[in-house]
Amino acid sequence: MQGNLDPVLLFADWKELKSRAEDILRRAAGRPGHIFNLGHGILPETPVENVKALCDFVREHSAEFKTSKLEHKAEAKTESRR
């Protein structure tokens, strides 16, 4: 699955952009094959700093989610053995 963020949101303030990115990552729930990207190309006037911030956020948040997901699986496995 890909094409999940409307590129117009790259013109929004960081709080809104971050909120939308978090929602997409939460709904994807770390499923294999999910590719975070835009619904279509970046518009010419898009602020480059917003694109960079979004890329950094997605990389960091995805890594945190994967770690959290693995920890949750390990806890569930331990509890099921009790």
- State the CB neighbour count (10 A cutoff) for residue 54: 20
Q: Please report whether residue 39 resides in a domain.
A: yes
Helix pair 14-28, 48-81: axis angle to 10 deg: 40
Radius of gyration of the chain (CA): 15
Q: Please report whether residue 1 resides in a domain.
A: no
Task: Report pTM.
Answer: 0.72
- Domain with 63, as residue range(s), is 7-81
The set of residues, in sequence order, having a beta carbon less than 8 Å from that of 45 and lying 6+ positions away, is 11
Count how many domains the chain has: 1
**Predicted pLDDT at 27:** 85
pLDDT per residue, tens digit, the chain (82 aa), is 566 899 999 999 999 999 999 999 888 876 777 888 998 889 999 999 999 999 999 988 886 666 555 555 556 566 666 6
Q: Please report whether residue 2 resides in a domain.
A: no
